[in-house]
Structure 1
Amino acid sequence: MTSQQPPSTPSQPEQPAEATPTCFRHPDRETWVRCQRCERPICPDCMRDAAVGFQCPECVAEGNRGIREAKTTFGGRIVGTPYVTYTILVLIGLVYLLQLASNGVTLALSNLPPAVAIGEYYRLITSAFVHQLGGLLPMHLLFNGWAIFAIGPSLERAFGHTRFAALYLISALGGSVLGFWLDPLNTYTYGASGAVFGLFGAFFVVGRKLRLDVRGIAVIIALNLVITFVLPALSNIRISWTGHVGGLITGTLLAAALVYAPKANRVLWHVLTIAGALAVLVALVVVRVPAILSMLS
C-alpha cells in the first residue's frame, strides 16, 4: 500500500493592515476625520466647524476670501463698542486728576504760543485734554465730557475707530492752531471744546448726508457760538473763541471730505484726506513759528 500526500495549496500572501491616516498639518497625529472640502485628514486642532462636518484652516481661509468685510456707512470697520470715545473720556478724567494733584500740570500741558514756538509742539494736542479746575462741580469738564459722550459713539459707529480718532484729534489740533496764530502770546488756552465743536460740525455733515433732521445740532452749534462771543463780554469768564471756531471749521471740513469721498478707492481718498489735513495744520504752525520767535526776541 502506498500513500500519497495531497498536493499542497500555495499559501495566500498576508494582506497588510490599512494604515491609519495622519493629519496633513500634523503628521504625528492619527485621525479618521477628513475636511469636507479637500478631504485631507485633519486632527482636532485643525477642525473648523462648517455647515456640514468640519473643514481645515486652509479651506476656511479660501472660502472667506470671497466674503466682503462689513463696513460702516462711510467705509470704516463695523464698531460694536465705541472704544475710542471711552478712551478719550478716560484720558480727560485722568488728566483732571493729575491737575488736582499738581497745579503745574495745567500750565505744562496747555497751549502757550511761546512754548510751542520753542519746540513744545505737544501742547497743541495735550491742551485738548486739560480743563479748568472747578472743585466739586467742574462745569468745563462736565460739559465737554457730556458732549463727547452724547455724540461720540454715533460718529464712531459712522466712521469707524480710526477715522473717528483722526477726526477728534485733528479737530482739537485745528482749534489749537488758530489759537497759536491769533491768541495773545501770554495766553494759556486749554480744553476739549475745540474737538467738541469739531464733532458738532461732523455730526451736522453726517446728518445732512444721510438726510436726517439736523435742526437740533444746528441750534446747538449756534447757541454755543453765541455763548462763545457774548458770555466773555458780559462777565469775567474767558472763553477761547479761537479754539471753538478753529475746531468747528476743521471738524466740519474734514468730515465733509470723508463723507463725500467717492466710493471708488474710498480708503485711499480717506488716507490722503486725513494726511492732507494734518499736513496743512503742521504747515500753518511752521509758518507761524518765526513770527512768534521774532516777537519774543
Structure 2
Amino acid sequence: MTSQHTDQPQFQTCPRHPDQIAYTRCGRCGRPTCTQCQVPLEVGMMCVDCRDEHIRNAPKIKYAKTAPTMTYALIGINVVAYILQWLIPNYWMLRTFLFNPLYVQITGEWWRVLTSGFIHAQANPTHLLLNMFSLWIFGKAIEPMLGKWRYLLVYLLSILGGSAGVWFFGELMGGLNTNTVGASGGIFGLFGAFFVLTKLRGGESRPITILIVINFVYGFLFPGISWQAHLGGLVIGALVTWILQRVDGATRRQ
C-alpha cells in the first residue's frame, strides 16, 4: 500500500493582521496585503502603509488666507469686455481681439492669441455665463492653492495654450482660417491644474477626470466648439501646474 502526499497551497498572511490570509500584494512595495489593508487605485491597489507614505511625501500646498481676488478680477474683465462688445458698434471688439491663425500669420497681430480668451460670442450670452461659472467654481478652489500670481500665470498660459492648439491642429488639418473666442482654453487649463493638484495630494481624481471627458465629448458632438483650444489649454494648464509644484517642492527641500 502506498500513500500519496498532496501539497496544500501556502498562503501568506498580512503583516498588519497575521490572522488574515493575504491573497494579493501591494502594487508598490510588494508585501502581502489583506482586504482590510487594501487601498484601491484607479489601476490596481496599494497597502495602507504605502498610502500613508505617499501622503507624507506629497508636496504640501500652501493655502492663501485671502479671498480669491484674482478670480473675481478675471470674471470682471470678461464681463466688462462683453458689455463693451454690445456698446461699441460694428463688432469692433470681436474684429479687434478674436483669434484667427491665418489672419495673425498675415498681419502679425500677435496680441490676439491672448485677448481672444477675454472675448465671447456676442449673440450667445450662455457662452459667457457657462465659462464664468466654471471660472468661479474652479478659480476659488485653485487660487488659494497656488497663490494669486501663479494662478494667474497658469490661467494666462492656458489661454495661450488654447490658441496654440487651434493653430497646431489648424496646420495639421487644414483649418487655419478659423475664428475663435472665449475663455475655454483658460477654463480647461484650470481643469488640468485641478487634476494635477489632486493627484499630487493623493486625492480622488475620478470626478475631475469624468468632468474633463464629458466636456471633451460635448465639444466633439456639437459644432462651433473648439476642442482644439480645450485640448491645448488642458495640456498647458496641467504641465505648468506640475512644474510649479515641483519647483516649489525642490525649493522647500533646499
> Do Structure 1 and Structure 2 share a fold, with TM-score over 0.5?
yes
Amino acid at match of 1:104: W
Distance 2:208 2:152 in 1: 21
Distance 2:69 2:121 in 1: 25
Matches within 5 A, 1:94-113: 94-101=80-87, 102=89, 103-113=91-101
Aligned to 2:231: 245
Aligned to 1:186: 177
Amino acid at match of 1:164: Y
Distance 1:190 1:266 in 2: 39
Q: What's the CA shift for 1:115?
A: 3.1
Amino acid at match of 1:152: G
1:211 and 2:202 equivalent?
A: yes
1:91 and 2:88 equivalent?
A: no
- Unaligned 5+ runs, structure 2: 1-58
Any conservation in 1 of the 2:60–2:201 contact (CA below 8 Å)? Answer: no
CA distance 1:119–1:266, change in 2 (3 Å): farther
Aligned to 1:263: 249
Q: What's the CA shift for 1:112?
A: 1.2
1:202 and 2:198 equivalent?
A: no
Find the structure with the greater CA-based Rg.
1
Aligned to 2:164: 177
CA distance 1:231–1:261, change in 2 (3 Å): same
Q: What's the CA shift for 1:261?
A: 3.2
CA distance 1:264–1:215, change in 2 (3 Å): closer
1:151 and 2:142 equivalent?
A: no
Q: What's the CA shift for 1:263?
A: 2.5
Distance 1:147 1:267 in 2: 34
The SS at the match of 1:142 is: helix
Q: What's the CA shift for 1:195?
A: 0.7
Distance 1:253 1:198 in 2: 9
Any conservation in 1 of the 2:103–2:177 contact (CA below 8 Å)? Answer: no
1:116 and 2:104 equivalent?
A: yes
> Per chain length, whose mean CA-contact separation is higher, i.e. which structure has more relative contact order (CA < 8 Å, sep 6+)?
2
What TM-score, normalized to structure 2? 0.69
Distance 2:153 2:186 in 1: 11
Deviations 1:250-269 (A, max 9, x none): 1111112222336232699x
Distance 1:159 1:201 in 2: 13
CA distance 1:180–1:100, change in 2 (3 Å): same
Distance 2:203 2:196 in 1: 10
> How many residues align structurally?
189
Report sequence identity in percent. 35
1:132 and 2:121 equivalent?
A: yes
Runs of 4 or more consecutive aligned structure 1 residues displaced over 6 Å after TM superposition: none
